[in-house]
């Protein structure tokens, strides 16, 4: 299990990376945004992941965001750093910087595009943990990587000291449930897809890393709490609320639509960086209607 005693539980926010209108970094907005999410009860912040536009940041920008995030969080909750490179060496570089800032863990996925064998995937995780000394949350997101980590793979990954959890974004709820049952305490599962959170948590997931926490963190926390308490009717009510909003912004060009939702709610984080595009007028109208129906905006 953990090398540093890190055991993620509860709702972690997959934070956006704020930009100015010209798409340059706007680190001054990160602190107020982090404060907003922590005040709502989230248990951790994950930066420069997919929602944080990892692929659209330069190495220097990634380091700047991580340094600022750890500074503004100031020990209130754990900070997880997205280390989403396909190169083991690049992930180690990110991890070494994260370790130096005081971040708690890395989010690491199977290398994409280069398509290594599973032995290569396993070596990737082993080497990152060994060389960085960081705890690692493994990340299964087959829609992005082209690799689906199955139960037999995850059992081997779980044997690596320092792999502390799995962020699961497989879209098959039955498969997720089987993974949770098979892995049990050996590799705790975290819900990675907001719209599947209700089913994943009720199947025994230990926590969540959700993008929705950028706009409705209290709703996310309440949903988690209701699931953990076994209050299924309340959890379902909250799930339906969350899903009605989620469906209007989880669209192509993510996290662009999410950032537009933040702007509607008065917490501007700027645009998504090119080549990501703004929502169409029709999409924006649907988003605005969903937020108004929920009472999030007047």
CA dist., res. 80 & res. 237, Å (int): 30
Residue 288 pLDDT > 80:
yes
CA dist., res. 298 & res. 293, Å (int): 9
Q: How far is CA 140 from the centre of its chain?
A: 11
Q: Which of 137, 203, 120, 122 is nearest to 4 (CA)?
A: 137
pLDDT band at 78 (very low <50, low <70, confident <90, very high): very high
CA dist., res. 4 & res. 80, Å (int): 13
Structure tokens at 69: 């995030």
Q: Residue 43 catalytic?
A: no
Segment 212-237 mean pLDDT: 98
pLDDT band at 3 (very low <50, low <70, confident <90, very high): low
Residue 240 pLDDT > 50:
yes
Element (H, E) at 70: helix 59-73
Residue 220 pLDDT > 50:
yes
pLDDT digits (tens, 9 = 90+) for 16-37: 999 999 999 999 999 999 999 9
According to the model, what pLDDT value does residue 185 have? Answer: 86
Catalytic residue among 12, 54, 167, 259: 167
Residue 198 pLDDT > 50:
yes
Q: Quick count: other Cβ atoms within 10 Å of Cβ 100?
A: 12
Residue 237 pLDDT > 70:
yes
Segment 168-191 mean pLDDT: 97
Q: Residue 112 catalytic?
A: no
Mean pLDDT over each residue of the chain, to the nearest integer: 96
Pairing of strands 135-140, 10-14: unpaired
According to the model, what pLDDT value does residue 296 have? Answer: 84
Q: Which of 28, 80, 46 is nearest to 211 (CA)?
A: 46
- Counting residues of the chain whose pLDDT is more than 90, the rounded percentage is 97
According to the model, what pLDDT value does residue 4 have? Answer: 79
Q: CA-CA distances (angstroms) from residue 298 to 263, 289, 290, 293, 294?
A: 14, 10, 11, 9, 10
Q: CA-CA distances (angstroms) from residue 103 to 27, 39, 63, 279?
A: 17, 20, 12, 34
pLDDT digits (tens, 9 = 90+) for 85-110: 999 999 999 999 999 999 999 999 99
Between 297 and 97, residue with greater pLDDT: 97
Catalytic residue among 71, 112, 115, 139: 139
CB 257 within 8 A of CB 287: yes
According to the model, what pLDDT value does residue 298 have? Answer: 60
What domains sit in the chain, N to C, each tagged with a CATH number? Answer: 10-217 (3.20.20.70)
Residue 14 pLDDT > 80:
yes
Residue 293: HSE in the Cβ half-sphere, 13 Å Cα cutoff = 13
- With tokens 């706009």, the residue in question is 215
According to the model, what pLDDT value does residue 2 have? Answer: 44
Q: Which of the residue ranges 66-70, 120-124, 292-296 would you say has the lowest mean pLDDT?
A: 292-296
According to the model, what pLDDT value does residue 94 have? Answer: 98
Residue 202 pLDDT > 70:
yes
């Amino acid at each position: 299990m953990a090398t540093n005693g890190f055991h993620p539980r509860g709702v972690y926010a997959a934070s956006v990376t704020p930009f100015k209108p010209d798409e340059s970094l706007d680190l001054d907005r990160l602190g107020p945004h982090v404060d907003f999410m922590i005040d709502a009860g989230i248990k951790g912040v994950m930066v420069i992941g997919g929602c944080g536009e990892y692929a659209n940041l330069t190495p220097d920008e990634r380091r700047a965001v991580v340094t600022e995030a750890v500074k503004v969080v100031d020990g209130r909750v754990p900070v997880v750093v997205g280390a989403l490179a396909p190169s083991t060496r690049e992930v180690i570089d990110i991890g070494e910087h994260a370790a130096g800032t005081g971040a708690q863990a890395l989010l690491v996925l199977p290398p994409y595009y280069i398509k290594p064998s599973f032995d290569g995937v396993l070596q990737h995780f082993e080497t990152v943990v060994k060389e960085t000394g960081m705890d690692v949350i493994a990340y299964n997101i087959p829609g992005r990587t082209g690799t689906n980590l199955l139960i037999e793979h995850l059992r081997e990954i779980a044997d690596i000291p320092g792999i502390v959890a799995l962020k699961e974004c497989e879209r098959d709820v039955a498969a997720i449930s089987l993974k949770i049952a098979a892995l049990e305490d050996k590799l705790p599962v975290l819900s990675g897809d907001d719209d599947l959170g209700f089913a994943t948590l009720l199947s025994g997931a230990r926590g969540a890393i959700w993008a929705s926490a950028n706009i409705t963190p209290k709703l996310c926390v309440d949903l988690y709490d209701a699931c953990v308490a076994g209050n299924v009717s309340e959890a379902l009510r909250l799930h339906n609320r969350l899903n009605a909003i989620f469906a209007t912004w989880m669209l192509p060009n993510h996290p662009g639509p999410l950032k537009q939702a933040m702007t509607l709610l008065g917490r501007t984080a700027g645009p998504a960086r090119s080549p990501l595009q703004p929502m169409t007028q029709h999409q924006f109208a649907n988003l605005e209607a969903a937020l108004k129906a929920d009472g999030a905006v007047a």
